[in-house]
Amino acid sequence: MTTAILERLSTLSVSGQHLRRLPKILEDGLPKMPGTVPESDVPQLFREPYIRAGYRPTGREWRYYFFSLFQKHNEVVNVWTHLLAALAVLLRFWAFVEAEGLPWSSAHALPLLLYVLSSITYLTFSLLAHLLQSKSELSHYTFYFVDYVGVSVYQYGSALVHFFYTSDQAWYEHFWLFFLPAAAFCGWLSCAGCCYAKYRYRRPYPVMRKICQVVPAGLAFILDISPVAHRVVLCHLSGCQEQAVWYHSLQIVFFLVSAYFFSCPVPEKYFPGSCDIVGHGHQIFHAFLSVCTLSQLEAVLLDYRGRQEIFLQRHSPLSVYMACLSFFCLVACSAATAAFLRQKIKARLTKKDS
C-alpha cells in the first residue's frame, strides 16, 4: 500500500514538473514573432501606396505567416474580415439546412450548394492571399493568382443562383439562352485580366493595371447582377414588399460601395501613414464585400424557399445538371490560366536570381 502511494506521488511530481515547463515548451514551439517593418525594409513588390509601415518581413518560415493571424500588421484586418465572413456564411447556411431539411441530391438545391461553395472559396482564398503573400515574391504572385481564381468562381456561383432562383419571367424570356455561357466567359476573363495585370505590370502600378482588373470584373458584375437589378427595379416601381428584394437591394448597394474603395486608395491617400494598420481602403473594401455576400446569401435563401414552383416550371433536372457542370469547367479554366502565368512568373524570378 505504501509503495503504491509513493509511486502515485512520484507520478504527480513528474506531472507537476511537466506542467511547470509547459509555458516554456509552448514558447519554444511558437515562432518568434519579429516586429513589423517600414516600407523601406521590404521589396517594392510588397509596398502599397500611402501605407508607410506595418509590413511583415519576407523570408521567414511558413509558420510565422500563419501565426501572424494574431499579430498587428497592415494585412490583419483584411484577413479577419474575410475569415469572419466565411464562418458567418457557413453557420448561416448550416442553420438554413437544419431548419429546412435541404435535399442534398435534388436538382433544385444544386445551384445553392455551388453558390455557398463559391462564397466560402473566394473568402478563403482571399484571406490566405493576404495572410501568406509576404513569404516571398513567388508566394506573393501565387497566392494572389489563387485569390483571382476564387473571385471568378464566386462570380459564376452568383450567376447560377441569380439565374435559377432570382430572375423574373420577363428577364428570363429574353436572356435565358446566353446568360450562363456569357457569365462563365466573363468569370474566366475576370480571372485572366487580374492575373495578367499582376504578371505584366510592376510597382508603382500604372493606370492600365487597374483597367485590366476593373473592366473585366465590372463586365462580369453587370451581367451577373442583371436579373437581380431587373427584379429590384420592377418590384420597387410596383410597390412590392418582398423581403428578398430588400436584401438584393442591399447587396447591390454594398457591392458598389466596396467597388469604390477597391478602385480608389482612400482614405489613406489623404492621410499617408495614418491608416497603416486599420482604416485603409482595401480593408473597407473587404468589410463592405463581406456584408454584400451576407446580404446576397440571405436573399438567395429566401428566393430558394419561396420561388420553388417557378424553378420547377422553367428547368428540367438535366438542364440544371449541365449548367452546374459548367461551374467546374470554369474552375478548371481559371486555375489553368493562373497556373500558366505562375510558371512564367517563376521562370522570370529564377532568371533574375541567377
User: Binding-site residues for Zn(2+), please?
Assistant: 130, 282, 286
CA 349 to CA 21: how far, in whole Å?
Answer: 45
Nearest to 159 by CA among 141, 173, 176, 137: 176
Rounded to the nearest 5°, which phi and psi values hold at 55? -85, 145
Q: Which residues are annotated as a binding site?
A: 130, 282, 286
Helix 137-161 crosses helix 317-353 at what angle (to 10 degrees)?
170
**CA torsion 288→290→293→298, rounded to 10°?**
-100
266 burial type by CB count under 10 A (0-12 exposed, 13-18 middle, 19+ buried): middle
Output the DSSP codes for 49-76.
TT--S-BPPSS--HHHHHHGGGS-STTH
Spell out the residues 6+ positions from residue 348 whose beta carbon is closer than 8 angstroms to its own. Answer: none
